[in-house]
Amino acid sequence: MNKFLCVLVIPFLTACSSSKQATVAEFSAVPQSAMQQLNNSHFDRFVVSHPEVFSRYNKVIFFPMQFDRLTVDSNADKDLRNSWYDSSWDEMDSICQYFDDFAQKIFNERAGFSTTLQGGKDVLAVEFRLKNFMPYNKRYKDNNLGTVGVSSDEKGIGTVTFQAVIADSQSGELLAVIEDGMEVNTGNIAINGNLNLQVDSNNKTSQNQAWRKVFKRWVEYLHDDLSSLQSSSLAQMQAQGSD
């Protein structure tokens, strides 16, 4: 009897779990544009040209995150601007690699999409571009701190804005544009639960962790939103087929 109940319950739980993975996409018109805004996106702005086509795609090719057009906000303190402008190409490439790694890991671990290195009729091409950075603190190299400090800075490193473009990998047709900005901050990290012993947010380890945290969130949000578009497009196609 118990085994029989398990057979019934497990598919039910699986169905419930699957239904929570993707929300129904909701849209509104973008003034003076053929694009539509994904209203329940995790991002501030997610505009889509053809929402109905996303059921075609189950693979994603990620281009490396771009930072060649990244600027340090002109309103930032001069010393902070100079600190970040001194970043080498290797430093920034190392930071952006965190995003590239999370993109592969998360999309391959979660259902709905997998990553690929080749374009195809079922492949979305995605590229993220860092646009602007408003620093709250200097780079760890300019803070004269050791590996672990004894103070904590709640402001974090700063706020970074980005743009992402999503296109059909074969035709190059633009399908969506994403824009948003998020704070790069690890938060206060206590040592062994003791708030009086905190990891300083301005050392190398903490600053890298802060970048990893925000990049992971971007990838998770992207997967959620693409899953919403995918499932909603599929539901629309199935409804039309039953008419």
SS3 of 44-112: CEEEECCHHHHHHCCEEEECCCECCCCEECCCCCHHHHHHHHCCCHHHHHHHHHHHHHHHHHHHHHCCC
Range scoring the smallest mean pLDDT among 107-111, 193-197, 202-206 = 193-197
The predicted-structure confidence for 44-103, as pLDDT tens digits, reads as follows 999 999 999 999 999 999 999 999 999 999 999 999 999 999 999 999 999 999 999 999
Q: How far apart are CA 227 and CA 147, in angstroms?
A: 40
Enumerate the domain spans of the chain.
30-227
CA nearest neighbour of 41 among 17, 60, 22, 58: 22
Average pLDDT, the chain: 84
CATH number attached to the domain at 30-227: 3.40.50
The predicted-structure confidence for 153-190, as pLDDT tens digits, reads as follows 566 899 999 999 999 999 999 999 999 999 998 865 44
What percent helix, strand, coil does the chain show, rounded to 5? Answer: 40, 25, 35
Residue 15 has a pLDDT of 37
pLDDT band for position 22 (cuts 50, 70, 90): low
pLDDT reading at 140 higher than 80: yes
Give pTM, 2 decimals.
0.83
pLDDT band for position 21 (cuts 50, 70, 90): low
Pull the structure tokens for residue 116. Answer: 């690929």
Range scoring the smallest mean pLDDT among 26-30, 127-131, 184-188, 221-225 = 184-188
Residue 241 has a pLDDT of 66
